[in-house]
Amino acid sequence: MEPTKKNIKTKRIHSIEDLDGKDLSFHYWGTMKYFIGLIKSSELKAGLILSFYGIIFNFVYQNIDNAKGSFTSFGFAHILAVLWLVSTLISMYYSVRSFIPRIEKNYEKNVFFFGDIISKFGDIKEFSQAFMDVNIDKEKLYDQLGQQIYINAKITAAKFKNVNKSLRYLAISLAILLILIIKYIFYVIF
């Protein structure tokens, strides 16, 4: 029980012996792959949203001449059309925003971050040596992998936040478009 209290006081939960005795890199790399998969998933969803808007804009463009009759005087339909366009543009903005890379630069240099590899480790020989040093020292290895996991988690959270906002505005946009279609149908019938 005594060694545990000592480890807690020094802010180190695991001892060097624990790190040397176990190969935790599998878990670290698995977590990294998990977040990379989530990042790809969020970008796929954003791409599908943008593709869906392409279909909707094509539909609107092909039917705009037929719908012009219901827009003869300024009124409810014009307000709905403007609201539809605004909600659509906001949704598209958040979809595109989820594709924009979010590179975190406010952290220590890391041998696993592509930006640091090129800019903070000198030439190829210096990087190779630093990479080998980190991989030999398990504490450094797990620390740098843990930092990358944290940064990838932040990136993933930001991307999913943008995709969720895009989906909300997509739902609003579709609801408004449905109301416009129903209004047009009533205009044609009556």
In a domain, 174, yes or no: yes
Q: How far apart are CA 183 and CA 190, in angstroms?
A: 10
Q: How far apart are CA 28 and CA 47, in angstroms?
A: 29
In a domain, 31, yes or no: no
Evaluate if pTM is beyond 0.85. Answer: no
Q: Mean pLDDT for the chain?
A: 85
- Which long-range contacts (C-beta less than 8 Å, at least 24 apart) are formed by 105-108? 107/147, 107/151, 108/147
In the numeric block, which tokens belong to residue 17? 């012996």
In a domain, 15, yes or no: no
In a domain, 171, yes or no: yes
Residue 168: what residue type?
R
User: 151: part of which helix (H) or strand (E)?
Assistant: helix 138-189
In a domain, 63, yes or no: yes
In a domain, 30, yes or no: no
Total domains, the chain: 1
What is the phi/psi pair of residue 3, to 5°?
Answer: -60, -30
What residues make up the domain containing 169? 42-189
Q: Each residue of 30-69: pLDDT tens digit?
A: 999 999 999 999 999 999 999 999 999 998 888 777 767 6
Q: How far apart are CA 53 and CA 41, in angstroms?
A: 19
In which band, very low, low, confident or very high, does the pLDDT at 115 lie, cut at 50, 70 and 90?
Answer: confident
Structure confidence at residue 173 (pLDDT): 96
Structure confidence at residue 2 (pLDDT): 45
In a domain, 58, yes or no: yes
In the numeric block, which tokens belong to residue 99? 């594709």
Residue 59: what residue type?
F
Q: How far apart are CA 81 and CA 67, in angstroms?
A: 11
Q: How far apart are CA 75 and CA 77, in angstroms?
A: 6
In a domain, 126, yes or no: yes
